[in-house]
Amino acid sequence: MLKPGKFVLAMLFAALPLALIAALVSGPVPVDLGAALSQGWHSDSSDAVILWQLRLPRALLAILVGAALGMGGAAMQGMLRNPLAEPALLGVSSGAALAAILLLYYGLAWLSGWLLPALAIFGAFCAVACVWMLAGRGASASRLVLAGVAINAFLSALMALALNYAPSMFAMQEIVFWLLGSLANRGWDQLLLAVPFILFGGVLLYCARNYLRALSLGEDSAASLGFRGRRYPLMVLLGIASAVGAAVAVAGTIGFVGLVVPHLMRPLVKQDPGRLLWSSALAGALLLLLADILVINFVGAQELRIGAVTAFIGAPFFFWLIVSARRGQQL
């Protein structure tokens, strides 16, 4: 007999392939999934092209980006010992966003499908490096957050400036849409660019899982348990920069997943910050895939941006959090 927490996790795990199938059949054009699958990768039939070149990479990207955001959020909350932390606090998202915006501003994004995401990942790493250096030697969690807030504020100011002086309405629209986050028109190029970074980040965070566990006792106790020095915090920061930076680079800024998902998963893994990593990756993947299915099936004049969908999921979550806190439950 499975315990309730494990049962829900098993359900989430089972739901992921079902959601994947749902994502593959979703779209404006009905596709015969069985035929398209059997025709294979190289087939020229329209069904196969839609499936293999459009829907599959998009669905896989949703899974990958969601997993990176969920895992990054879990690591961030674990490292800062704060349930309200999210990866964006470290400037990862705004670093990636600013790099992308500059490219859109100068209208260079069309040069190559690789250029924008590659530069955005570079931007994410630069922002985290700035935060790390600003926080200084032996920085405590609160000093890291403070440095993150400072760098974030500066990057946001630069982004506002870029929007303010956008060369054309078209560039401005592109920037705003990019900031809202989207998985539309993403293909294998973006997926293959993001995969190594997200995997590398995931491996780093997984290696730091015992550090995050020890940190639930506080920094001094973690140090006495053998997690001393700059190595472990650096590992977590690099992991977040790599995974979340790559996710933002290919999909734009998608908020709330990194904040909400670890919160929801924590009771299911008995509050263990180590197991929270992979369970948040799983739930983040599922959440973003479902959100993207909603986006695909939403019929309107304008494409619905996935960042707007996750924000709509995030806001009620906080209402629920406040209500349960008022009932005297633990935050």
Partner 1 sequence: MTVEKHLEASCLKLALERRHHRVLTDISCSFKPFELTAVVGPNGAGKSSLLQCLAGVLAPTVGHIELNGEAVEQISAAERARRSAYLPQSETPAWSLSSADLVALGLLPWGRPADRERRVAAALQLVDAQQFAHRPVTQLSGGELRRVQLARLLVGEAPLLIADEPTAALDIRHQLQLMQNFRRQADAGKTVVLALHDLSLAARYCDRILLLHDGHLRAQGTPEDVFTPALVGDVYGVSCEFRWRDGVADFVPLDLL
Taking residues 79 to 108 in sequence order and writing x for each that binds partner 1 by CB under 8 A, - otherwise, the string is --xx--------------------------
Binder of partner 1 out of 129, 223, 235, 264 (CB under 8 A): 223
Q: Does 271 bind partner 1 (CB under 8 A)?
A: yes
Distances (CA, A) of 319 to 43, 145, 166, 182, 315: 49, 24, 36, 25, 7
Q: Does 228 bind partner 1 (CB under 8 A)?
A: yes
Whose Cβ is closer to partner 1: residue 164's or residue 330's?
330
CB of 150 to partner 1, least distance (A): 22
CB of 68 to partner 1, least distance (A): 22
Binder of partner 1 out of 149, 225, 235, 308 (CB under 8 A): 225
Can you say whether the dihedral through the CA atoms of 218, 152, 204, 56 is positive or negative?
Answer: positive
Binder of partner 1 out of 188, 210, 234, 313 (CB under 8 A): 210
Instruction: Encode 213-234: b = buried (16+ Cβ within 10 Å), e = exposed.
Output: bbbeeebeebeeeebeeeebbe
Whose Cβ is closer to partner 1: residue 29's or residue 331's?
331
Query: CB neighbours of 256 closer than 8 A, spacing ≥ 6?
Result: 86, 310, 311, 313, 314, 317
Using the contact rule CB under 8 A, the part of the chain among 56-64, 192-200, 215-223, 301-309 near partner 1 is: 215-223
Whose Cβ is closer to partner 1: residue 189's or residue 219's?
219
* DSSP state string for 109-142: GGG-TTHHHHHHHHHHHHHHHHHHHHH-TT--HH
Cα(42)–Cα(271) distance, integer angstroms: 47
Note the residues at the interface with partner 1 (CB under 8 A).
Answer: 81-82, 210, 213-218, 220-221, 223-229, 266, 270-273, 330
